[in-house]
Structure 1
Amino acid sequence: MGIMGFLRDRMGKILAISIGFSLLAFIIGEVVRSGGSFFRDDRDLLGEVSGEKISYTDFNKKVDQNSAQFRQQSGQGALSPQITSYVQETTWNQLVAQTVLQKEVDNLGLQVGTDETKSMVSGNEPNPQIVQAFADPKTGQLDRSRLNNFLNQLPTLSPEIKQQWSDFITQMIEAKLQEKYVSLVTNSLYVNTLEAKDDYQNKNRLANFKYAVLNYSSIPDNKVTPTDADYQAYYDEHKAEFKNQQELRSFDFITFNAAPSSADSAGIKKQADKIAGDFKTTTNDSLFVQINAETKSAISYKHKGQLGDPKLDSVMFNASKGFVYGPYLSNGSYKIAKLVDSHVEADSVKAKHILIDEKTIGHEKALARADSLKKLIDGGASFADLAKKFSIDGSAAKGGELGTFARGAMVGPFEDAAFNGKKGDIKIVSTQFGVHIIQIEDQKGSSKVAKVAIVDVPLKASSATQTVVYSKAQGFLGSLTKDNFDEEVKKIGLKKQTAADVNGVAVSVPGVNSARDLVRWAFSAAKGDFSDKVYIEGNQYIVAHLTQIKPKGILSLDDVKKQIQPMVLNQVKGKALTDKLQSALNGASTIDQVAQKAGVTVNPIQNMVFANPVIPGSSAEYKLIGTVFGSQPNKLSKPIAGTQGAYVFVLDSFTNPAPMTDAVREKQQLGQAMMQRADSQIFEALKDKANVKDYRAKFL
């Protein structure tokens, strides 16, 4: 009983301790398996800058904002993988720059106060972006009445516009803080008189000399065998050049091409013929395109030359309504085009509009408000005054003025209303942006436009063809062992391709346009691994082999050995050629005698400047020209191993420039050049110091 009572009293503690040990074991297991910290949520960690974490969630929000801004500015809908990659890279650089600079700004206590912010918006010298946004179209100068109207209306505007304005102010403040920090650094830069004098001499002192050269190309590469010591010596001397800013990986791959067979092409042509027949009889062209086309684009009026295919231009602008052309082959697809309508209209329209926000009040109320405003305008009310009061568009401050625009500048329904009406018309139309009241102020020119509906049927391999090719790729993958990739490639007779020095966020590699999945695999694999599956990109079935990993930081000799081989070969050749020139120097008193012994000619150089050490007809020879400007006239030099070969020279004379008379101007020129480099160099130095850790490869 005593033991049972003891257990009852202490069972809670025993269970707690037991569970605790089990939980701890679980935690340790998870840490070992994942390679991360259980206590720190690494699943959302995209990167680190000076110890500050950048989360994938925050990064993604910023990418979405920048993508939306890009789409708005470019007028594009869906962004291509390449544009998406560009936006992601730009966003990452923004976040890194902000984090790095914010840390410096905080350490220095730099601030942009409320009064300073107000001054940047509406002070005597407002920010240039404010001036650009609220400029008078005629003068290009800031229109303060427009700016003040906007600021007064800001509390009543939509949440989207308020957020855009808040983001703009935040970016303006960040730019100002960066400007202050850069100014602190650049104001400490100084050019003294001695530096100005040296620069003046380097750009104006002239050297006249003669040289003889034994080119490295005179010794075939296969006659030279560098030793490990040669590679090591070159590597040690140039180690600083081999700093890798980010991890890079290289892989070989082969592609099994699943192109459509002749039977596939015949089947697709038959399908396109049937679609063409149905296209002729349909009464709803837009719906037909949406159902049958691979590329579902809006049908809009276009001028000649804008249909995207010269074949259509020559046919559609002379055809009758309802005419169907095709199927015809274009860019890997069978296409069928139908003339929906054509007419003559203005080349350009001048208009103004009022945009009613239907997101806030709903579509029906927005239409009712637009109708009420139209009646006021018809009754003589000022369109401009109503636009300033009710429009949510950026043109409101200008009284709704949109200026003159051609087809393609506006969304379809808005455009059709503006071009199909006549001067003086006031129209109400709905678009994805809201409800518009449009006043057509003027129309200029006239030409024919056509509305053409196009259905495309891509030439794709059938499932049977794809299965056959996939089976071949899968069979090849199954035949691979650790070291037989090249051997197996030779057996099947396909060409091996190489993706060299790929970074972790690359979206394409040579020969593969959309390679994101393949790159993601490469950055999770170990050197020597072959791909975990057959990767499919369009008609390409890809198997890859990871051949090299270059880590961030100073690369090892093994990592750069292939890269430095040409230079090492030249270095070894240089030893042999300088020895040959040294033999030619023995007993010689003139450059002509040296050249004759070495079997080469003498080359005269006139008016060489230290600041531009390029040998005419050759390349930059820094070591040679540096030695020339440090030598004495009429004295044969020792052999010099340069960039293109081994040299011997004799200096004839220097032509010294007139004494420097304006040291202030020279200092200013040097200082300006220094300032131009400062911005990027400051950021690169801070970024290097910040120890940026980039984990994007596992997310993107």
Structure 2
Amino acid sequence: IKSSPGLAQNPQFADENGQFDERKFRDFILELKINAPSQYEDWLQDEQAIIESAKQQVYFNLVRAGMGATLKEGELDYKLANDKVDIRYVRVPYASIPDSTITVTRNEIEAYIKENEKKYTQEKSRDIQFVYFEEGPSDEDIAATEAAITALLDDSEEYFEDRDTTETIPGFRNTKDVNAFLDRNSDAKYDSILRAKSELPTQFADALFELTPGELYGPYRDGDVFKVSRMMAKKPNGSVKASHILITYQGAERANPEVTRSKEEARQKAEGVLEEALKQDAVFAQLARDNSDGPSGPRGGDLGFFQEGVMTPKFNDFAFGNPVGHIGLVETEFGFHIVKVDEKRDLVQLATLTRDIQPSDETINALFTDATKFEMTAVDSDKSLSEVAQENDYVVRPVNRLNAMDENLPGLGAQRRIVQWAFSEDTELGDIRRFDVNNGYAVVQLTATYKKGLMDVEDASVTVLPILRKKKKAEKIKAENAGKSMSEIAAAYATTVSNATALTVKSPTIPGAGREPLIVGTAFSMEVGKTSSLISGESGVFMFEVTNKEEAPALDNYVTYANNLQASNAARVTNSLVEALKEKADIEDNRSVFY
């Protein structure tokens, strides 16, 4: 519980020093048990989840403890990164043989899949495609919204039948009670917050900031909202950015219990730090990191921008009463502050009349009609959904390899109903259905199904075909160049014998060829002056001569490398261990049926 941020950092359970108070937490749970039984039941579920999480963490930590690395392993890791080899080589790229000249049969693909069964085992999945009919305002809706907000700007005449009188109703421009006006007429209510220019909509910030009190700007469109803003007030230097170095003492408010210095000692230290801060070459941020007892110390003392009244009174008066760049000493109930005024900003207070741009009922009804008509046409047509969509200028969006527990669909968000439909036994390949989705409708078609187990040849051929094709090209290149020297091979393929230097096992990249771990690894196993046979690499077939090998200088110890290996191993524990446990367990996952 103490390590759970949601509970440990909750002010409700904090003591006077801001630390988690177990007694307060126990009292809170006891109060729930007596006065709020339903909330207490919720807590019992949360408690069980915390217990299970703690057990898991203990288990993971035990496994991590066994993931150490010896000094010998550290030494090996160092050598893999720093031992170097130079080679002269010739490469015959696989691309030099056209794919069209290489034949790979279905039986060969099937045999490869069976030989690499683990790699080509798949979970049950589905492919779908859909057309999204998104609710959105029409041009007429946009124009109507702009006209409606414009009509609220100036005074209007309104007839009251019960009094048989006509009265002038003040518009936004002239109303004396802006708060009440916005309550009645605006989709966003009035707030009196003073804002800096950087907090205003970027596109309109300059124009809004230059308004004079009482002046209007707009209507202007900000996203899906029409706005008219009225300047209520301006406050020069209304916001200050300051940094401080806090020196606390025993007994000061919120002081860390570990602080033992007296108030006088704190004062003397603060005066010494102030003297350093006032020097011409002083770096205030570094002084804060080195000396501050406050939480802003690691940030160089930066407190960001704040308005009047936010800070304790003496601190507030110093920050707002001194010019930018001024540094001084302030005493408050928290201790002694060396304060630096970093920046000041002007603020404005705007009242903004807003109207959300929304589709009208007519627009929504028309969208429903279009979606329904498209669905019926697609269902009845002999053509594919894609063809019907193309004829109607609709965009088709495919989603491939959808898993049974997936929820989010690109462009549609959370759509479990669509996923469940795609995996339902009643849904057949090619079926089409319309769904109500967020802000509109989606007409969806099931386009492919994939069973659990070994992939079909058609599905696997996308990845297997290039592998087998490359293998056959390598065999052909080797057969055609058997017994030839590097120079002869280079001449036959109109290429040159190249050099590659300072290759390492950890970075096995050969310039002009890319990553070639087998080639580099083989080079390290050979003696200087020896020439290899023809070897199949990643990008082509190689023949090379080892021209130089350089062992990295021995280190006094390899603790750093061993520690890095241990940290790397430990970081992989959680995911790798969970996957290993899943693989070992016999689990039948039926969650998708109920969720």
TM-score category of the 2 structures, normalised to the smaller one? 0.5 to 0.7
Aligned with 1:210: secondary structure? strand
Shift of 1:233: 4.1
The answer to whether the aligner puts 1:598 opposite 2:493 as a matched pair is yes
* Alpha-carbon distance, 1:455 to partner: 0.8
**For residue 511 of structure 2, what is the amino acid of its counterpart?**
P
Partner of 2:466: 569
| SS at 1:533 equivalent | strand
SS at match of 1:453: strand
Alpha-carbon distance between aligned partners in 2 of 1:440 and 1:328, rounded to the nearest angstrom: 48
Question: In structure 2, how many angstroms separate the alpha carbons of the residues matched to 1:574 and 1:329?
Answer: 60
Amino acid at match of 2:543: V
- Secondary structure (helix, strand or coil) at the match of 2:151 reads helix
Residue number in structure 2 paired with 1:585? 482
**Percentage of identical aligned residues:** 19
Quote the Cα distance in structure 1 between the aligned partners of 2:45 and 2:241.
33
> CA 1:421–1:187 in 2, change beyond 3 Å: closer, same or farther?
closer
Return the offset for 1:575.
1.3
Name the counterpart of 2:92: 214
Is 2:387 the partner of 1:487?
yes
8 A contact 2:211–2:231 mirrored in 1:
no
Alpha-carbon distance in 2 for matches of 1:134, 1:543: 46
Structure 1 contact 477–534 (Cα < 8 Å) conserved: no
| Residue of structure 1 in register with 2:372 after alignment | 474
Describe the SS at the equivalent of 2:508. Answer: coil
Paired position in structure 1 for 2:195: 302
For 1:354-373, what aligned pairs fall within 5 Å after superposition?
Answer: none
Instruction: Give CA-to-partner distance per residue, 1:338-376, whole Å, 9 cap, x none.
Output: 3455545752699xxxxxxxxxxxxxxxxxxxxxxxxxx
The answer as to 2:214 corresponding to 1:337 is no
Instruction: After TM superposition, give the deviation of residue 521 of structure 1 in Å.
Output: 4.1
Name the structure with the higher helix share: 1
State the shift of 1:598 in Å: 3.3
Unpaired segments ≥5 residues, structure 1: 1-116, 122-126, 136-142, 351-381, 386-400, 409-414, 426-438
Counterpart amino acid of residue 478 in structure 1? M
TM-score (norm 2): 0.65
The one-letter code matched in structure 1 to 2:208 is V
The C-alpha deviation readout for 1:318-355, integer Å capped at 9, x for no partner, is 3224x4432222224322233455545752699xxxxx
- Counterpart pick for 1:241 among 119, 123, 148: 119
Residue equivalent to 2:151 = 274
After superposition, give the CA deviation of every residue in 1:228-260 in whole Å (9 maximum; x if it has no partner).
Answer: 13422443454433455x754332223456664
Contact 1:224 1:569 in 2 (8 A): no
Q: How big is each residue's C-alpha offset from its partner over 1:44-101, in whole Å with a ceiling of 9 and x where there is no partner?
A: xxxxxxxxxxxxxxxxxxxxxxxxxxxxxxxxxxxxxxxxxxxxxxxxxxxxxxxxxx
Q: Give, in whole Å, the separation in 2 of the partners of 1:405 and 1:635.
A: 66
- What SS is found at the alignment partner of 1:302? coil
Q: Distance in 1 between matches of 2:202 and 2:496?
A: 60
SS at match of 1:240: coil
Aligned partner of residue 476 in structure 2, secondary structure: helix
| Distance in 2 separating the partners of 1:247 and 1:287 | 59
- One-letter identity of the residue aligned with 1:500: N
Q: Taking structure 1 as reference, are residues 421 and 585 closer, same or farther at Cα in structure 2, changes over 3 Å only?
A: closer
In 2, Cα distance between equivalents of 1:684 and 1:447: 56
Q: How is 1:41-440 mapped onto 2 (pairs within 5 angstroms)?
A: 146=17, 150=21, 177-189=55-67, 191=69, 195=73, 198-199=76-77, 201-221=79-99, 224-242=102-120, 248-256=125-133, 260-277=137-154, 278-280=171-173, 285-286=178-179, 288-289=181-182, 292-294=185-187, 300-316=193-209, 318-321=211-214, 323-343=215-235, 346-347=238-239, 418=309
Letter in 1 for 2:372: Q
Q: Deviations over 1:110-167 (max 9, x none)?
A: xxxxxxx9xxx7xxxxx7989x9699xxxxxxx9973789456667669589989999
Contact 2:120 2:460 in 1 (8 A): no
When residues 505 and 170 of structure 1 are mapped into structure 2, their CA distance, relative to the original with a 3 A threshold, is closer
Residue 450 of structure 1: how far off its partner (Å) = 0.8
2:434 matched residue in structure 1: 533
Deviations 1:15-47, CA, capped at 9 Å, x for gaps = xxxxxxxxxxxxxxxxxxxxxxxxxxxxxxxxx
Cross-structure match for 1:649: 544
Between the aligned partners of 1:344 and 1:666, the Cα distance in structure 2 is 57
* Alpha-carbon spacing, 1:332–1:196, altered in 2? closer, same or farther (3 Å): closer
Does the alignment pair 1:499 with 2:399?
yes
Taking a change above 3 Å as real, the CA distance of residues 487 and 176 of structure 1, as seen in their structure-2 partners, is closer
1:608 aligned partner:
503
1:450 is the counterpart of 2:321:
no
**Letter paired with 1:249:** R
**Residues 294 and 458, structure 1, Cα contact 8 Å, conserved in 2:** no
**Aligned residues of 1:317 and 1:450 also touching (Cα < 8 A):** no
Which of 523, 526, 543 is the equivalent residue of 1:628? 523
State the Cα distance separating 1:224 from its structure 2 match: 4.8
Q: In the alignment, residue 87 of structure 2 is paired with which amino acid?
A: F
Unaligned runs of 5+ in 2: 34-38, 155-170, 243-250, 255-294, 317-331
Contact 2:109-2:457 at 8 Å conserved across structures: no
The structure whose RCO (Cα within 8 Å, separation 6+) is larger is 2
1:272 deviation in Å? 2.6
Separation of aligned partners in 1, 2:20 and 2:460: 66
Moved more, 282-291 or 471-480: 282-291
- RMSD of the TM alignment (CA)? 5.2
Q: Tell me the amino acid that sits aligned with residue 475 of structure 2.
A: T
Aligned 8 A contact 1:243 1:555 in 2: yes
Paired residue total: 494
